[in-house]
Structure 1
Amino acid sequence: MKTLTLATVLSALLLSPLASASTPTTQASAEALQLAVDHPSRSPANVARDKYRNPVATLQFFDVTPSSTVVEIAPGGGWYTEILAPLLAAHGTYYAAHFPADSSSDYYKRSRAAFVDKLAANPVYNRVQLTEFAPGNSSAIAPAGSADVVLTFRNLHNWYGNGGDEGMVAIFKDFYNALKPGGVLGVVEHRLPADKASGDWQKTGYFPQALAIKLAEQAGFVFEAESDINANPKDTADHPGGVWTLPPVLRLKEQDKEKYLAIGESDRMTLKFRKPVSE
Structure 2
Amino acid sequence: MRRFLGLALALGVLTGCGSADDAAPARADAFSPSRYAAAINDIARPAADREADAQRKPGELLAFAQIRSGEAVGDYIMGGGYMTRLLAQATGGSGRVYAFQPDEFIAFRPEYASEQDAAVAPYADNEGNPVRVFPLRGPVAAPDFPEPLDAIISVMNLHDLYLASLPEGTADTALAALYAALKPGGRLIVVDHRAPPGSGAAAADSLHRMDEALARTALETAGFVLEAESDLYTRPDDPRTANVFDAAIRGRTDQFAWRLRKPENAQ
* TM-score normalized with structure 1 length: 0.79
Amino acid at match of 1:135: V
Shift in alpha-carbon separation, 1:157–1:198, aligned structure 2, 3 A: closer
Aligned to 1:113: 114
Q: Is residue 2:206 matched to residue 1:219? A: no
- Structure with max Cα Rg: 1
Q: Deviations over 1:134-167 (max 9, x none)?
A: 3344x51332xx2110110111221112245x32
Deviation at 1:128, TM superposition (A): 0.5
Q: 2:64 aligns with which of 61, 66, 75?
A: 61
Shift in alpha-carbon separation, 1:234–1:29, aligned structure 2, 3 A: closer
Q: Is residue 2:15 matched to residue 1:9? A: yes
Q: Is residue 2:67 matched to residue 1:75? A: no
Deviation at 1:82, TM superposition (A): 2.1
Aligned to 1:254: none
Long gaps (5+) in structure 1: 251-259
- Could you tell me the percent identity over the aligned residues? 25
CA distance in 2, matches of 1:107, 1:234: 32
Query: 2:101–2:138: 8 Å Cα contact kept in structure 1?
Result: yes
Q: Deviations over 1:213-265 (max 9, x none)?
A: 100111111112211111111211222xx1101xxxx3xxxxxxxxx27x852
CA distance in 2, matches of 1:52, 1:84: 18
CA distance in 2, matches of 1:7, 1:278: 30
CA distance in 2, matches of 1:156, 1:98: 14
CA distance in 2, matches of 1:31, 1:104: 34
Aligned to 2:7: none
Q: 2:184 aligns with which of 181, 185, 191?
A: 181
Shift in alpha-carbon separation, 1:63–1:172, aligned structure 2, 3 A: same
Aligned to 1:37: 40
CA distance in 2, matches of 1:227, 1:132: 30
SS of 1:238's equivalent in the other structure is coil
Q: Deviations over 1:105-136 (max 9, x none)?
A: 54354311232134325669842011224334
Aligned to 1:142: 146
Shift in alpha-carbon separation, 1:199–1:23, aligned structure 2, 3 A: closer
Calculate the aligned-residue CA RMSD, in Å: 2.9
Q: Is residue 2:102 matched to residue 1:99? A: yes
Q: Deviations over 1:167-224 (max 9, x none)?
A: 21211111111101011110000011315x1694231111111111100111111112
Query: 1:99–1:112: 8 Å Cα contact kept in structure 2?
Result: no
| Runs (4+) off by over 4 Å | 4-8, 24-30, 121-126
Query: 1:176–1:220: 8 Å Cα contact kept in structure 2?
Result: yes
Q: Is residue 2:240 matched to residue 1:237? A: yes
